[in-house]
Structure 1
Amino acid sequence: MNSFEYDDYFLDYNYEEHNNGSNVTTEINDAAVFQHKPTCLKEGLCVSLLVVSVLIFLLGFCGNALVIWISGFKMKRTVNTTWYLSLAISDFVFCAFLPFNIVQTAMEEWIFGRFMCKFAPSVMFLNMFSSIFLLVIISVDRFVSVLFPVWAQNHRTNKMASITVFLAWLLAIGMSIPSAIFRDVGSHLGTTVCHNNYTLHPHSHKIVAVTRLLAGFIVPFLIIIICYSIIILRLRNTRMTKNAKPFRVMTALVAAFFICWLPYHVFILLELNNAEYDHHVLASGLKIGSSMAAANSFLNPVLYVFMGNDFKRKFKSSVLSKMENAMAEEGRTTSRYLSRSSSMDNRASTHI
């Protein structure tokens, strides 16, 4: 298994570190010596990951398109539908670029040129950062709604939600730029490859990996955990936590993101010290971790369906109704809490 046999479209694999600093492009003369013969279809793991990628593309593309249609055109625009519409757009864009990865994995060669080599992988990190930033925004929104219901009722508007989403996307784009900067096209053993070129700075690989881990995983999850811990403490003795099961869709989305992205970040950190670990283990782990990360893009529409209603009622309503109910239910839960808290504050003010 050579250095490019695993899915370099997704991964931050640093070829130069595995070749004592040699540049990939210096091997362009080997094209006449080595004749490239793809072996992916002969390997069980590679075939399995190809099948998974195709399923993720089909389910994610269609599912998120459906969510965009429902939340963007069929439902009344609210703060909550703005959150979920933005998440669906992020996942939809990511799934739209999956065919590049599927072709590259099957052919074990990059055929789409230098621009797409830089742009297509950046979409993965745009999806990662935009998704986690939006989940943080939703968590903070829930936090403010529970702890400061009167302020939220007066200032929690669609315009503010749209501005917040726009800023989150700008930040996600900024965090995705390093992928485009360090991505490059070269030649290796007679094949054209799209790889990460971290030779410009000796510590650039480690800086990029650690920054992505902190900004795209650890820090956002600390914020989410803090927000939800305070929310649970505040609502622990209220009737809402016993009957309404508030925020269950959001909780499922956060859990899915954590489970899907954790293996990817773990193996990316291990790959920084690749000399200490078995190459085949790292290669397989990075492949599987990337596929799990991609799977998060089709899980969200599924969660909207199966978290929206009780199990017995799922089979009595259409898929559209389930999705619409899932996205609207969180808004109703928050609105009920805001109304109840506002009424309690008004009653209390009459006794002062």
Structure 2
Amino acid sequence: MDSNFDFNYEEIVDYSYDNNSINNNSLTEEISFKVHTTCFTEVMCLLLLVVNVIIFLLGIGGNGVVIWIAGFRMKKSVNTTWYLSLAVSDFIFCSFLPFNIAYSVTSDWIFGLFMCKFTSFVMFLNMFSSIFLLVIISVDRCIAVIFPVWAQNHRSVGKASFIIVLAWFVSAALSVPSMVYRDVQHHLGIGRCMNNYTSSPYTHEIIAMSRFVFGFVIPFLLIIVCYTVIILRLKASQIAKSSKPFKIMTSLIVTFFLCWAPYHAFVLIEIYKSSLSNDIKTNGLRIGTTVAAANSFLNPVLYVFMGSDFRKKFKSSVFSKIENAIGEEGRTMSRYLSRSSSVDAKASTHI
């Protein structure tokens, strides 16, 4: 689209202006001032505002409970380390949503240049760290299934913590451009927090493509490969006696794709100047961003709550359900590792 002064629903959205749009800024800002003075005058904006408030409340509540249980109530293990880091990433993301909720209501950025840059950095930090953690969990499960003896002897909380720190470091490095190119522009007394790519004609395309490749394509392919290997291995060994693990794995893959595909698709559409109207692009980015944000409260559901049968344990406390769910995968993995280790040990005596 030519310019994106008219709306900034989320900091994660790639609304921007560049060398191709700088000549149209005055006209777009004038239209923006007249049309988007408040979110409550637009049905789409109001609907997405309500959805984001729900995401904030569920995300803070769900991830907060997971952090408390995995971090303080349960014995530290590799699995709880994964869950804890994932919950922290999503909790941080959700804790910054009020800035964008306020921005969408007033259409005026009042939090200053530093918060404009920092909130954008945090949003993409969550995007990369959350996705990288999902890949790490997938790879960890895959290794445990393929090399059970090695996994039982070498998986440790210390190594898991080191991998998580490394993932956060890489995520921070990939998120720096979102902070560098973020800027606050003022017009007619209204401040707008947006991307400023006027310094280079190809900066926008490079950054967007790097996010698409490293934040979606590669992680998604890795997750697909890992869960395909896991499913084939479990079927071959006939260890999985029910279809529940396969349903959970399928839901993880599908949810990951559905949450992030719309956002990346409309960012690419915006960059390559498709024939779609500006309204379709703008609304597509709004919806895509909201769906991506929803992943932050869906993660506790998919990675924790689906691990136990709610109907059978309905009478137990919520905290007990979550604690049992987090520990369930660890107990299942331990049984699998023990059984596989025993089989491998027996097999080795015949070689």
TM over 0.5: yes
CA distance in 2, matches of 1:275, 1:146: 45
TM-aligned CA deviation for residue 255 of structure 1: 3.2
Task: Work out whether 1:195 is the aligned partner of 2:194.
Answer: yes
How do 1:306-317 and structure 2 match up within 5 A? 306-317=305-316
- Residue of structure 1 equivalent to 2:267: 268
CA distance in 1, matches of 2:71, 2:254: 25
How do 1:313-324 and structure 2 match up within 5 A? 313-324=312-323
- Residue of structure 2 equivalent to 1:40: 39
CA distance in 1, matches of 2:247, 2:164: 22
CA contact (8 A) 2:94 2:296 kept: yes
CA contact (8 A) 1:68 1:89 kept: yes
CA distance in 2, matches of 1:13, 1:171: 24
Aligned residues: CA RMSD: 2.4
Task: Work out whether 1:242 is the aligned partner of 2:245.
Answer: no
- When residues 236 and 255 of structure 1 are mapped into structure 2, their CA distance, relative to the original with a 3 A threshold, is same
SS in 2 for 1:153: helix
Between stretches 188-197 and 281-290, larger displacement belongs to: 188-197
TM-aligned CA deviation for residue 18 of structure 1: 6.3
CA distance in 2, matches of 1:62, 1:311: 18
TM-aligned CA deviation for residue 177 of structure 1: 0.5
SS in 2 for 1:76: coil
Task: Work out whether 1:292 is the aligned partner of 2:294.
Answer: no
**Structure 2 counterpart of 1:196, which letter?**
N
2:18 equivalent among 16, 19, 35: 16
Q: Where in structure 1 are there 5+ consecutive unaligned residues?
A: none
CA contact (8 A) 2:12 2:123 kept: yes
**Structure 1 counterpart of 2:7, which letter?**
E
- When residues 249 and 56 of structure 1 are mapped into structure 2, their CA distance, relative to the original with a 3 A threshold, is same
Per-residue CA deviations over 1:168-225 (Å, capped at 9, x if unaligned) read 0100111110100110111234411111001111100000011000000000111111
CA distance in 2, matches of 1:96, 1:8: 13
Task: Work out whether 1:175 is the aligned partner of 2:177.
Answer: no
Q: Give the TM-score of the pair, scaled to structure 1.
A: 0.91
- When residues 4 and 97 of structure 1 are mapped into structure 2, their CA distance, relative to the original with a 3 A threshold, is same
How do 1:318-333 and structure 2 match up within 5 A? 318-333=317-332
CA distance in 1, matches of 2:243, 2:330: 12
- When residues 244 and 155 of structure 1 are mapped into structure 2, their CA distance, relative to the original with a 3 A threshold, is farther
**Structure 1 counterpart of 2:86, which letter?**
L
CA contact (8 A) 1:80 1:327 kept: yes
CA contact (8 A) 2:131 2:219 kept: yes
TM-aligned CA deviation for residue 104 of structure 1: 0.3
SS in 1 for 2:18: helix
CA contact (8 A) 1:304 1:323 kept: no
CA contact (8 A) 2:224 2:253 kept: no
TM-aligned CA deviation for residue 92 of structure 1: 0.3
**Structure 2 counterpart of 1:69, which letter?**
W
CA contact (8 A) 1:36 1:190 kept: no
SS in 1 for 2:183: strand
Between stretches 71-80 and 257-266, larger displacement belongs to: 257-266
Between stretches 300-309 and 127-136, larger displacement belongs to: 300-309
CA distance in 1, matches of 2:102, 2:20: 25
Between stretches 258-267 and 227-236, larger displacement belongs to: 227-236
- Residue of structure 2 equivalent to 1:90: 89
- Residue of structure 2 equivalent to 1:335: 334
TM-aligned CA deviation for residue 334 of structure 1: 1.5
TM-aligned CA deviation for residue 333 of structure 1: 1.8
CA contact (8 A) 1:8 1:194 kept: no
TM-aligned CA deviation for residue 283 of structure 1: 0.8
- When residues 161 and 251 of structure 1 are mapped into structure 2, their CA distance, relative to the original with a 3 A threshold, is farther
CA contact (8 A) 1:8 1:195 kept: no
CA distance in 2, matches of 1:18, 1:59: 40
CA distance in 1, matches of 2:24, 2:185: 8
TM-aligned CA deviation for residue 256 of structure 1: 2.4
- When residues 49 and 167 of structure 1 are mapped into structure 2, their CA distance, relative to the original with a 3 A threshold, is same
Task: Work out whether 1:141 is the aligned partner of 2:152.
Answer: no
**Structure 1 counterpart of 2:232, which letter?**
L
**Structure 2 counterpart of 1:269, which letter?**
L
Percent identity over paired residues:
57
- Residue of structure 2 equivalent to 1:65: 64
Per-residue CA deviations over 1:8-65 (Å, capped at 9, x if unaligned) read 533111223563x3496x89x98xxx78972310111111111111111111111111
CA distance in 1, matches of 2:194, 2:4: 13
**Structure 1 counterpart of 2:273, which letter?**
N
CA contact (8 A) 1:118 1:179 kept: yes
Q: Give the TM-score of the pair, scaled to structure 2.
A: 0.91
SS in 2 for 1:260: helix
- When residues 133 and 305 of structure 1 are mapped into structure 2, their CA distance, relative to the original with a 3 A threshold, is closer
CA distance in 1, matches of 2:253, 2:78: 18
- When residues 2 and 164 of structure 1 are mapped into structure 2, their CA distance, relative to the original with a 3 A threshold, is closer
TM-aligned CA deviation for residue 158 of structure 1: 0.8
CA contact (8 A) 1:36 1:189 kept: no
**Structure 2 counterpart of 1:95, which letter?**
C
Task: Work out whether 1:120 is the aligned partner of 2:129.
Answer: no
- When residues 53 and 305 of structure 1 are mapped into structure 2, their CA distance, relative to the original with a 3 A threshold, is same
- When residues 114 and 22 of structure 1 are mapped into structure 2, their CA distance, relative to the original with a 3 A threshold, is farther
CA distance in 1, matches of 2:326, 2:181: 38
- When residues 16 and 346 of structure 1 are mapped into structure 2, their CA distance, relative to the original with a 3 A threshold, is closer
CA distance in 2, matches of 1:149, 1:244: 21
- Residue of structure 2 equivalent to 1:213: 212
